[in-house]
């Protein structure tokens, strides 16, 4: 009976020892997991319809074309400036470690990383989609 109790007590230690050994022998199994998300950076930086909407105002607003063109450029650069913040917002909400461009994610062996491009785009559209251009008179 005593022997049986002794064996039972040793069992968890043996399991831990086995795990310890497996960790030491198999580093791949000991990899710390990272939550990696991806975006299509090119699309967010230049391909979104939002940029087209901003540019289209050149034909819709009456006034000096140079001033309107300048206001459009400024608005586009405002969107680009807000882009990292929008990505960070989605990443933090998801408790992510990293956000990589789709091509970098593939290179890093994370081709299945969840694509958050639509969520980032929604934030930017909500922020800038309806905002009127600020044209210097």
Partner 1 sequence: MKPLVLATWLAVSAGAAVASPPILVVDLSEAYSRSTALAGLLADVDRQLQALSARHRPGLDRLRSELGKLKQQGAGTRDPQLAIAKQISDIETAAELEQDQLSIANQNAIAIVNAAIAAVKSTLKEETQARIVLDVQETQYLRPTCACIATERLYELLNATLPRVELRLDAAPQ
- Nearest one of 54, 35, 40 to 119, comparing CA atoms: 40
We find the least distance from the C-beta atom of residue 78 to partner 1, in angstroms, to be: 18
Which of the stretches 63-71, 72-80, 96-104, 121-129 binds partner 1 when contact is defined by CB under 8 A?
96-104
Residue 112 found at the interface with partner 1 (CB under 8 A):
no
Residue 98 found at the interface with partner 1 (CB under 8 A):
yes
We find the least distance from the C-beta atom of residue 100 to partner 1, in angstroms, to be: 6
Residue 93: is it exposed, middle or buried by C-beta count within 10 angstroms (0-12/13-18/19+)? exposed
Report the residue number, 1 or 24, with the smaller CB distance to partner 1.
24
Residue 84 found at the interface with partner 1 (CB under 8 A):
yes
Report the residue number, 10 or 46, with the smaller CB distance to partner 1.
10
Please enumerate in sequence order all residues whose Cβ is within 8 A of that of 29, keeping only pairs 6 or more positions apart, or say none. Answer: 22, 23
Secondary structure, 3-state, the chain: CHHHHHHHHHHHHHHHHHHHHHHHHCHHHHCCCCCEEEECHHHHHHHCHHHHHHHHHHHHCCCCHHHHHHHHHHHHHHHHHHHHHHHHHHHHHCCCCEEEEHHHHHHCCCCCCEECHHHHHHHHHHHHCCCCCCCCC
Binding mask 43-82 for partner 1 (x = CB under 8 A): ----------------------------------------
**Size of residue set near partner 1 by CB under 8 A:** 38
Please identify which residue in the block is written with the tokens 């044209």: 135
Which of the stretches 25-33, 62-70, 74-82, 128-136 binds partner 1 when contact is defined by CB under 8 A?
25-33
Which residue ranges make up the site for partner 1 (CB under 8 A)? 9-13, 15-17, 19-20, 23-24, 27-28, 30-34, 36-37, 39, 41, 84, 87-88, 91, 96-101, 104, 107-110
């Amino acid at each position: 009976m005593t022997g049986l109790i002794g064996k039972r007590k040793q069992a968890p230690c043996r399991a831990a020892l086995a795990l310890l050994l497996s960790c030491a022998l198999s580093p791949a199994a000991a990899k710390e997991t990272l939550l990696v998300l991806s975006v299509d950076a090119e699309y967010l930086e230049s391909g979104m319809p939002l940029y087209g909407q901003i540019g289209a105002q050149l034909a819709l607003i009456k006034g000096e074309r140079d001033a309107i063109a300048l206001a459009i450029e400024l608005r586009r650069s405002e969107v680009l400036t807000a882009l990292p913040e929008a990505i960070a917002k989605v990443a933090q909400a998801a408790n992510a470690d990293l956000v990589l461009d789709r091509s970098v994610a593939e290179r890093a062996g994370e081709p299945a990383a969840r694509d958050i491009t639509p969520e980032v785009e929604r934030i930017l559209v909500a922020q800038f989609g309806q905002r009127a251009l600020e044209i210097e008179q």
